[in-house]
Chain A
Amino acid sequence: MSYGTREMTTVTVFRYDPALDQEPRYEKYEVPFEPNESIVGVLDYIRAHYDSTFSFRYSCRTGCCMICTYRLNGKTVVTCRTKMQKDMVIEPVNKDRVMKDLMVNMDR
């Protein structure tokens, strides 16, 4: 965690609302860079500070349920157990199953 002026970084997030958007888009958000923060914490930050309509799945935040698994810079990670980095790109694992933003249909 930084002191004084917070160091910021840009995170790029996959967004798509079938009710509004013709096709998916990528939004950029400026968030504080805090080395101890998890990626799911960053997604929380975006929802709380930028856009309350942003939807993503998370549940236990303790690495047990795994439903906060997304792609970080193309690589699949459990985001509650993965530290944030600078210049992250966050996308759903399977874009074909997206219901809204990072929320995918998980019915099997």
Chain B
Amino acid sequence: MLTENIPQVSTDVLIIGTEAAGAKAALEIAKAGYKALVVTKSVAGKSGVTVQAVATYNAALGPDDSPELHLMDTLKGGKYLNNQAMAELFTREAPNVVHELEAEGCKFARQQGHPERYDLYHYPGHSQARGAYTYPGGTTGRQLMSTMIRALKKHEQIKIQNDVMIIDILTNQERTVGALGVDLKTGGFILFAARAVILTTGGAMQIFSNNAAAREATGDGYAMAYRLGLPLVDMEFCQFFPYNVVAPKTLYAQQTVCQLCQNFGAQLLNYKGERFMVKYDPVNMERGTRDIVSRGIFIEIKEGRGTKNGGVYMDVSFLPKNVLENWIADNHPGWDFGGVKMLDEGIDLREEAIEIAPLAHFYLGGIQINTRCETGIAGLFAAGEVCGGSHGANRLGGNALPEVQVFGKIAGNMAVEYLKAGGADGGSFDESVVLAREQQVKEMMGRDQGISPLVLRNRIQEAMFEVSLIKDEASVKKALGQIESMREDLTKLVVKTPRGSYNLELLDAFEDEFMLDVAEMHLRGALLRTESRGAHYRLDYQEKDDQNWLKNIIVQKKNGRMNFTTTPVVFDKVGWEGLK
């Protein structure tokens, strides 16, 4: 065997991604008595975006709430594009998963004096308060992950491996037999032989320079699935959150300041001090819906009226001092925003404005799965943000954690079912995949001159920034041209770091390759969707077009080409009449 020098690891189920979805899948597999190996290209419990979830875990837990109401809100929020079966499943199962987390030791806040009642946050877009959260505020994602990692470590059947980036899923006759990775601890390849594989690699917000996501969110799972010929859905949709601090950098992407807009009527000013929202929503101004406010801010920045840190000013200095101080005392004692004291950073909201901007927050599209988390290749399952469908064209606040954990659980159970029915035998795979990767690395490390992977990364992100919140045919075609020419740059990449321990450049190089695939899917899908809906906004087609576009766009590799089709939304849980 040509690849015999590559270290090989065997397991029952390989899970790619260690956070909310992957960890949940691993628990189900171990409980059924099978071995799970969970790998991350960073550090388990600290990589990816789960730990960044400062908000809530939505579930119908309140006395007047029901999964049916949660579903209805989710479909309306998703502007009707949701895969209804998936949305129905996660809203129905969300309360159970909250209870399972509690059984593992995660403590959700209760009402004072009523330990049997959850204290639930009421998010915009939800008809009920259903946001369960942990103490202290802003730690829900972190506490969820520390609970999950503790739970994983109780099982001998579960192994966690940090610092491994998976670059190819290996198949044999339409059956998954494992994966090829780069072991960043050695700088060499590593082969995983697995009877089943679960992809939980998360989103691709990193394709935009204006993102608030962890560095891992480079769309690896999207690209690997695409290369296998699997269908992906809604790839033109990436959600941006409007209110993120952009300066000082020590408060970067701090989001709780959004409450100043929602609750206190903060004013947004451009670099010239103009209250610009008058141009975009003269009636509601800064209290307009998030998408309109985001676009207003983005236009100001793009047209050169932003601050030099790439934002606009958010001002509450007109409030009586005690109004602001009381809010701070209740919500951010000591002016503490996530461990950083705002006053110490030189920002005094009583006197001055803070700089904010919309940043990429959640990738809505992804691998098309069914409600069994099956992808179309036997033994390959997917769960979490790497899948598309649950949230449609827009995700409601607090709906990410329940979705990814419910599907993580299902993926784990379905992998178990698959193994019980036989599974793959860890059979052979096409060695040419591995040999091509070896050749690629040899070339990248052997070049004297060329393009640095970090430089290419920045070019991708900058090209995508231009069309991040507002698109039209001309701007998307321009970005597409840039992305296409950057594909040629892939053959010129230079990795200067010698082969050995922790080669960050090599990681960047593989991620660049994946990001280019995702960027192209995003742009071509956006070009096709000649309407505006949810997170997708076309300047040349500003209206939602229910007549023609109650459809999902499917992208799939066919005969080596990126192929697009559309499929009508299936209104099998809630009829169109009941929604509009």
A binding-site residues for B, Cβ under 8 Å = 1, 17-20, 35-38, 41, 47-48, 52-67, 78, 80-83, 99-101, 103, 105-107
**Contact indicator A62/B185 (Cβ below 8 Å):** no
A47 to B503, CA, bound (A): 12
Known contacts A17-B501, A65-B214, A100-B502; is-contact A57 B42 (Cβ 8 Å): yes
CA distance A101 to B504 in the complex (A): 11
List the A side residues contacting B253 at CB < 8 Å: 61-62
A18/B51 in contact, CB under 8 A: no
> Interface size of B by Cβ–Cβ distance < 8 Å?
45
Contact, CB under 8 Å: A17 / B498: yes
Q: Supply 29 A–B pairs (Cβ within 8 Å), ascending by A.
A: A1-B309, A36-B247, A36-B248, A38-B252, A52-B453, A52-B497, A53-B497, A56-B504, A58-B215, A59-B43, A59-B216, A60-B51, A62-B252, A62-B338, A63-B339, A63-B340, A64-B54, A64-B338, A65-B43, A67-B43, A78-B339, A81-B338, A83-B345, A99-B185, A100-B500, A100-B502, A103-B501, A103-B504, A107-B162
Q: How far is the CB of A10 from chain B (nearest CB, A)?
A: 20
Chain B residues within CB distance 8 Å of chain A:
42-43, 46-49, 51-52, 54, 141-142, 162, 185, 212-216, 247-250, 252-254, 308-309, 338-340, 345-346, 452-454, 496-505
**CA–CA, A20 and B497, complex, Å:** 11
A106 to B161 CA separation, bound complex (whole angstroms): 10
Main secondary structure of the interface of A (DSSP, over half): loop
Which listed residue (B52, B254, B454) contacts A48, Cβ 8 A?
A: B454
State how many angstroms separate the Cβ of A32 from the closest Cβ of chain B: 13
Is the CB–CB distance between B252 and A64 below 8 Å? no
B496 touches A59 (CB 8 A): no
Q: Which of A1, A41, A55 has the most CB of B within 10 A?
A: A55
Tell me whether A67 and B499 are in contact (CB under 8 A).
no
Kindly list chain B residues whose C-beta atoms are within 8 Å of the C-beta of A19.
498-501
Chain B nearest CB from A79 CB (Å) reads: 9
Q: A55 and B250: CB pair below 8 A?
A: no
Question: Known contacts being A41-B249, A59-B214, is A106 close to B43, with CB within 8 Å?
Answer: yes
Given contacts A55-B503, A67-B47, 13 further A-B contacts (CB under 8 A): A18-B500, A35-B248, A35-B346, A36-B248, A52-B505, A53-B498, A60-B49, A67-B43, A80-B249, A80-B252, A100-B502, A103-B502, A106-B43
Say how far B260's CB is from chain A's closest CB, in angstroms: 18
Complex CA–CA separation, A99 to B216 (angstroms): 20
CA distance A81 to B52 in the complex (A): 14
Q: Name the residue on A nearest B54 (C-beta).
A: A64
If A52-B454, A106-B162 touch, whether A65 touches B46 (CB-CB below 8 Å) is yes
- Provide the residues of chain B in CB contact with A100, threshold 8 Å: 500-502
- Nearest Cβ in chain A — how far from B143, in angstroms? 11
- The CA of A47 and the CA of B502, in the complex, are separated in Å by 14
Contacts of A55 in B (CB 8 A): 497, 502-504
Q: Which of chain B's residues have a CB closer than 8 A to the CB of A65?
A: 43, 46-47, 51-52, 214
What CA separation (Å) do A58 and B500 show in the bound complex?
19
Pick the contact of B214 from A48, A60, A107 — CB < 8 Å?
Answer: A60
Query: How distant is the Cα of A81 from the Cα of B341 in the complex, in angstroms?
Result: 10
Residues of B within 8 A of A20 (CB): 498, 500
Cβ A66 vs Cβ B46 within 8 A: yes
Let me know if B249 and A38 touch, CB within 8 A: yes
